[in-house]
Amino acid sequence: MKPLHELTVQEVHEGYRNHTFTCVQLVQHFLDRIKKYNPRLNIYLALNEHALEQAAAVDREIVEKGIDRELLGIPLAIKDNFLTTGLTTTASSYILKGFMPQYDSTVTEKLLAAGAIFLGKTNMDSFAHGSSTETSDFGPTLNPWNPKHLPGGSSGGSAAAIAAQLATAALGSETAGSIRQPAAWVGITGFKPTYGRSSRYGVIAMASSTDSPGPLARTVADAALITQVIAGQDVKDATTSPLPVENYLGSLNKPDLQGLKIALVKEYLLPEMRSDVKELILAAADKLRSLGATVEEISLMDPQYAIGVYTVVQRSEVSSNLSRFDGIRFGHDRSAFGQETKRRIMLGTYTLSAGYYDAFYKKAQAVRTKIIEEFAEVFKTYDAVIGAVSPGPALPIGATKDQPMFGEMEDILVEASSIAGLTSAGIPCGFVDGLPIGLQITCDQFQEEKALMIADCYQQNTSFNLFPDLDQTL
Amino acid sequence: MKITPLIGLEVHLELETKSKMFCGCPADHFGKKPNTQTCPVCLGLPGALPVPNKKAIESCLQIGLALQCSINTISKFDRKQYFYPDLAKGYQISQYDEPFCSDGFLFLDSGKKIGIERVHLEEDTGKLQHKTLNGQKVTLVDYNRGGVPLVEIVSRPDLSSSAEAKEFLKKIHEIIRALGVSSVDLEKGQMRLEPTVNLCLENEIGSHYTPLVEIKNINSFNFASQAIEFEITRQAEEFSQTGIEKSSTNKTTRGYDAVKKNTFLQRSKEEAKDYRYFPEPDIPPFIIDAGYVEKLRQKLPLLPDQEIANLEKLGIDKKDAKILVSSNNQVALQTIKDYSTNSIVDIQKLASLIVNGKINSDQNLIEQYDKLTKIGTTDRTELTKVVREVLATHPGLVAEYQGGKASLAGFFVGQAMKATRGTADPQTLASLVADLLS
């Protein structure tokens, strides 16, 4: 039998059903691993002290009723920007150190209602401001493949929890690349639902107009299951969509991709991109062809414009969203903000100032509309757009030093799809220098089913979905 | 030199919806224990999101319609950003360039048309309490009021005297009350007034405009009027001394001191606020359907001016009609309507008696009316007997009357009235005297 930490959600449920192991055993197994590896990797910021009691309750439930909840007894790692009662929530910021939420976020509430057990809260870039976890006020998380490298971010802790096999699955959130990029850098599956598909209520806001909660998981199938649980309209979030949630699990396990048209964006094979990374993407395109899809090269707006738009819109929203931490409540004054946070607040405040609003914010929104229109045009012909998630593999620790645009440069290939509110899967498609490379499969808004279906088919027909042996890598 | 004051008014109204603007907490905050009506949304806790209150939007649109505004098809909320301890999120959700209603108007009694620039919706802030606790001076924050729906009405600077401003405010007050969206109790802060005043001074050279002055947060019509009066004088004096004219950067904000009856500088141009407005990303824009607006328009109650006109059509004096409507005496108005087709009751008299306080609205109006306007017995059969007796006891005078002394008729009526102890209708008696003696 596989070790417990290598099991997918489906395999855990099989184990429960066959009484191969109990939920208490599984949770204890993860807690032991966390105890062993977390001090080095700095993945979890807080652990759930009641996890074992909750696991015991799950075991009783299984005896009484069997498994009739989608995530019953599934140990999850939760990004620290989701409010969870009973578990401190800091968004990796010193200003919220020790903050105990008064309410639960809608998506974590849904996960709990589906029977999940939260192992703990994971490290991230402070207030999600970054793509490395280096901006965390509690120190960076290390990449389980190579601790000299970064795990990416902002959901770096949740991504590393899966790669290091310190949870069965994890919850993250993406504003622009914050799920897909760390998933790519640690070689796991990440899925960003359409903006408005999963509720933002109770998620410490970064950029309100692009934040989107989603899963980080061992497989596309696990990601689909978690998305199924968290998706849907929320009366507490006016930006969630009333569209019905499709059956994501039902769309999986397709034998091939016959009849699908996929676009490979030329501009996303950046001139400065390493040739071995480009080759992996082209090989992925060939793989999709061999699975029956038509893959054609297309041209889109230079991704640098998306960076400009994203930087202005995101900084503007950040400066506003963080103004509630005014020093009167929450225990710390604004000097407790980290460098990157201060930098973003200042830039955002500037772009919204009288006289600059039109030149920056308004213009950015106009370009955003252009990008949305451009994608809409592409999706008239194509089912999906593919490309690399990141220009290269995980960068070494310290790479963000004196690089205020670090995150944006690393997220250059995912920002356009984020500001257009699209859905996108990030999955491993190979390795360079012993570090994973990620492929993104992006579909039109509310086409989660299609993105998951293509990603699942690709993943089942490739063998890049590997996990590091921590005793060797650390 | 001719001086014309240019006065515009900003009026804030608290709506009496069941729940707050963006959360489910009760909106009725007056006199409640501090911080007992709060939740993650109105406390601005991390992660909380605003969900707009449909009823409040409907009330705002009704106000807009009552003020003859056009309802904008596309509308949105914006964030108005500033720091103040009573503002939980560090920004107020308001409306900037796409309010729900714009370009309306209101007529003063003189027939003068006052433009309404816009009517928009926003959220109220919390309240600060400055206290001494354990010998320490502290400022406490009560967030019960935070997030209560607030409608802002902005007039154009078409008012040219404090009297016009006061009339305008009274009319707004009456309209809001008629709509039933707020009791607009000024003492409870449900209606707050902010006049903006400057002057146009004309001499032989041309026109000069004094710098704009906004007077903040006044809670009585009289104070508003006094503050405007004070400003008019002050600005005229200031201009004669400094000659400084209005520019795009010299608007100032002043407060009103009700005790000293003067205004004082609060904020000058150097401290002018930049609110860094931008569209509220947590609330999608609204598309307001014309059919829905039409339905709302049809549901509007009778508005004060229409009600006054209707009363005038019933023959009621305009002055009385205005008092009746502004006193919002629903019992009286209904009774007048009910009896307007009844020929026995003189509607004009009834109205006048109510207005003059002769009739108490807490009791049956018509019974009181009858008592006050009782015309006495008009039963001719019974009164004929009485008149016959009077004539029979004064045969000499009857002869004199018949001889041409018509003035004796009054004597006979008086005697008959005496015999009935004043319960007879004098007109009936007079006609009987004439008939029986002819």
DSSP A260-293: -EEEEEGGGS-TTS-HHHHHHHHHHHHHHHHTT-
Which of B234, B258, B287 is where one domain is finished?
A: B287
Residue from B19, B49, B98 to probe the interface with A (highest A Cβ count within 10 Å): B49
Decide if B295 is inside a domain. Answer: no
In a domain, A120, yes or no: yes
Residue A2 counted as domain residue: no
Q: Is the model's pLDDT at A131 over the cut of 70?
A: yes
Q: What is the pLDDT of residues A272-305, one digit of tens each?
A: 889 999 999 999 999 999 999 999 999 998 888 9
Distance in angstroms (rounded) separating the CA atoms of residues B185 and B14: 9
Give A355→chain B minimum CA distance, Å: 10
Nearest Cα neighbor of B196 from B68, B8, B370 is: B8
The dihedral of CA B409, B415, B420, B423: what is its sign?
A: positive
* DSSP H or E run through A52: helix A51-65
Spatial CA neighbour of A183 closest among A433, A390, A460:
A390
CA gap B301, B307 in Å, rounded: 10
Q: Return the pLDDT at B356.
A: 81
Residues with Cβ < 8 Å from B165, sequence gap 6 or more?
A: B7, B9, B159, B195, B224, B225, B228
CA B438/CA B430 separation, integer angstroms: 12
pLDDT at B374: 67
Q: Do B50 and A238 touch (CB under 8 A)?
A: yes
- Chain B residues whose CB is inside 8 A of the A208 CB are 281-282
The pLDDT, as a whole number, for residue A270 is 87
Nearest CA distance, B85 vs chain A (angstrom): 7
Find out whether A263 and A384 touch, Cβ atoms under 8 Å. Answer: yes
Q: How many CA atoms lie within 13 A of B12 on its CB side?
A: 19
B52 and A99: CB-CB below 8 Å?
no
Mean pLDDT across the stretch A13-17? 97
Sign of CA dihedral A140, A141, A143, A146: positive
Residues B23 and B95 in one domain: yes
Q: Shortest CA distance to A430 belongs to which of A224, A267, A287, A245?
A: A287
CA distance B89 to chain A (A): 4
Q: Which residue of B has its CA nearest to A323?
A: B90
Amino acid at A458: Y
Give the long-range contacts of residues B262-269, CB within 8 A, separation 24 or more: B262/B230, B262/B234, B263/B213, B263/B215, B263/B227, B263/B230, B263/B231, B263/B234, B266/B216
Q: Which amino acid does the sequence have at A233?
A: Q
Cα–Cα distance, B126 to B121 (Å, whole number): 17
Q: Give pLDDT, residue B272.
A: 59
Q: Give the pLDDT score at A400.
A: 84
Number of domains in chain A: 1
Please name which of B144, B146, B81, B68 lies closest in space to residue B113, comparing C-alpha atoms. B68
Nearest to B121 by CA among B90, B92, B99, B154: B99
Residue ending a domain, choose from B287, B322, B346: B287
pLDDT of residue B407: 86
**Distance of alpha carbon B318 from the chain centroid:** 17
**Do the beta carbons of residue A227 and residue A247 sit within 8 Å?**
no
Task: Tell me what the pLDDT averaged over chain A comes to.
Answer: 95
Q: Does B403 map to a domain?
A: yes
Cβ contact B91–A320 (<8 Å): yes
Q: Tens digits of per-residue pLDDT, B130-152?
A: 999 999 999 999 999 999 999 99
Q: Taking CB atoms and an 8 Å limit, are A202 and B281 in contact across chains?
A: no
A121 touches chain B (CB under 8 A): no
Residue A82 lies in a domain: yes
Domain membership of residue A1 (yes or no) is no
CATH number of residue B422's parent domain:
1.10.10.410
pLDDT at residue A252 in the model: 97
Length of chain A as a residue count: 474
- Domain with A340, as residue range(s), is 8-473
Cβ atoms of A199 and A234 closer than 8 Å: yes
In Å, how far is A368's CA from the nearest CA of chain B? 14
The residue behind tokens 């593919």 is A386
Please report residues of B whose CB lies closer than 8 A to that of A369.
none
- Neighbouring residues of B98: CB distance < 8 A, sequence distance ≥ 6: B72, B74, B75, B76, B285
Tell me the shortest Cα–Cα distance from B273 to chain A, in angstroms.
10
Q: How many CB atoms lie within 10 A of CB B286?
A: 16
B40–A103 CB contact, under 8 Å: yes
Would you tell me the crossing angle of helices B162-179 and B318-326 to the nearest 10 degrees? Answer: 60
Quote the pLDDT of residue A429.
98
A362 secondary structure, DSSP code? I
- Sort residue B154 into left (φ over 0), alpha (ψ -120 to 50) or beta: beta
The pLDDT value given to residue B360: 78
**Residue A318 is which amino acid?**
V
Average the pLDDT over A374-391 and give the result: 96
Residue A445 lies in a domain: yes
Pick from B378, B379, B377, B414: nearest CA to B394:
B414
Q: Are residues B256 and B306 in the same domain?
A: no
* CATH number (domain holding residue A321): 3.90.1300.10
DSSP-assigned beta bridge partners for residue A428: A438
Most confident of A82-86, A364-368, B359-363: A82-86
Residue A140 distance to chain B (closest CA, Å) = 23
Test mutation, A321, A333, A351, A360, chain B, max B CBs within 10 A: A321
**What 3-state DSSP class applies to B51?**
coil
> Do B255 and B230 lie in a common domain?
yes
- Angle of helix A23-41 versus helix A9-17 axis, rounded to 10: 150
pLDDT number for residue B375: 66
By mean pLDDT, which of A387-391, A408-412, B22-26, B361-365 is the weakest?
B361-365
Q: Which residues contact B331 (CB under 8 A, 6 or more apart)?
A: B361, B365
Closest CA relative to residue A152, chosen from A182, A116, A118: A182
Sign of CA dihedral B171, B174, B178, B180: positive
In a domain, B186, yes or no: yes
Shared-domain flag, residues B238 and B265: yes
Point out the residue among A83, A326, A353 whose CB comes nearest to the CB of B46. A83
Give the per-residue pLDDT at B270. Answer: 56
% of chain B residues with pLDDT over 70: 97
Across the A:B interface, residue pairs with CB atoms under 8 Å apart total 90
> Quick check: A237 and B51 CB within 8 A?
yes
Q: Which residues of B touch A368 (CB under 8 A)?
A: none
A154, β-bridge pairs: none
Mean pLDDT of A236-261: 97
Residues B67 and B216 in one domain: yes
Q: Where does A97-151 show beta strands of DSSP type E?
A: 117-122
pLDDT surpassing 70 at residue A333:
yes
List the single residue in A with minimal CA-CA distance to B284.
A239
Tokens of B159: 């008012």
Q: Give the residue on A whose Cα is nearest the Cα of B80.
A: A320
Nearest CA to B177 among B333, B318, B317? Answer: B333
**In this complex, do A205 and B79 lie within 8 Å of one another by their Cβ atoms?**
no
pLDDT reported for residue B344:
61
Q: Are residues B201 and B70 in the same domain?
A: yes
Contact present, B42 and B29 (Cβ < 8 Å): no
Q: Is residue A406 part of a domain?
A: yes
Residue numbers of the domain that contains B41? 2-287
| B240 and B364 housed in the same domain | no
Q: Among the residues of B18-144, which ranges form H helices?
A: 54-66
Residues of B in contact with A353 (CB under 8 A): 274, 276
Largest CA distance in chain B: 105
For residue B297, being part of any structural domain is answered with no
State the catalytic residues of A: 79, 154, 178
Contacts of A130 (CB under 8 A, 6+ apart): A153, A154, A340, A400, A406, A407
Structure tokens at A451: 């993105």
Q: For chain B, which residues score pLDDT lower than 50?
A: none
Contact B283 A239 (CB under 8 A): yes
pLDDT for residue B339:
78
Give the tens place of pLDDT for each residue, A186-216.
999 999 999 999 999 999 988 888 999 999 9
**One domain for residues B338 and B262:** no
In a domain, A305, yes or no: yes
Q: What is the pLDDT of residue B314?
A: 86
Interface probe with B: pick from A199, A328, A368, most Cβ of B within 10 Å: A328
Contact residues on chain B for A320, CB-CB shorter than 8 A = 79, 81, 90-91, 276, 278
Beta bridge partners of B119: B101, B153
Contact B282 A208 (CB under 8 A): yes
Which residues in chain B have their CB less than 8 angstroms from residue A203's CB? Answer: 47
In 3D space, the residue among A24, A87, A19 whose CA is nearest the CA of residue A57 turns out to be: A24
Find the mean pLDDT for residues A343-362: 91
Are B221 and B240 found together in one domain?
yes
Q: Are residues B280 and B340 in the same domain?
A: no
CB-CB: which of A200, A320, A328 is closest to B49? A200
More confident residue, B341 or A389: A389
Pairing, β A423-432 against β A435-443: antiparallel
Kindly report the number of other CB atoms within 10 A of residue A28's CB atom. 16
Rounded Cα distance between B210 and B244, Å, is 7
For residue B294, tell me if it sits in a domain: no
Q: Do B46 and A361 touch (CB under 8 A)?
A: no
Question: What pLDDT band is residue A435 in, cutting at 50, 70 and 90?
Answer: very high
Omega into A154 within 30° of 0, i.e. cis? yes
Chain B residue at shortest CA distance from A353: B276
Residues B167 and B208 both lie in one domain: yes
Question: Residue B79: which of A203, A205, A320 has the nearest Cβ?
Answer: A320
Q: What angle (nearest 5°) sits at the alpha carbon of residue A151, between those of residues A45 and A421?
A: 95
Q: Is the pLDDT of residue A157 over 60?
A: yes
Q: What is the DSSP string of B259-288?
A: TTTEEEEEE-GGG------EE-TTSPPEE-
Question: Is residue B220 in a domain?
Answer: yes
Residue B424 belongs to a domain: yes
Compute chain B's Rg from CA coordinates. 31
In the listed set B373, B395, B421, which residue is the last one of a domain according to the structure? B373
CA B257 to chain centre: 24
Nearest Cα residue in chain A from B87:
A324
From the DSSP assignment, how many helices (H) and strands (E) are in chain B?
Answer: 13, 17
Q: Which residues of B touch A202 (CB under 8 A)?
A: 40, 47-48
For residues B40 and B48, what is the distance between their CA atoms, to the nearest angstrom?
A: 6
Are B221 and B311 found together in one domain? no
Contacts of B85 in chain A (CB under 8 A): 326, 328
As for how many domains chain B has, the answer is 3
- Chain A neighbors of B90, CB-CB under 8 A: 320, 322-324, 326
Chain B nearest CA to A237, separation (Å): 6
* Residue burial B391-412, b: 16+ Cβ < 10 Å; e: rest: beebeebbeebeeeeeebeeeb
pLDDT score for B342: 67
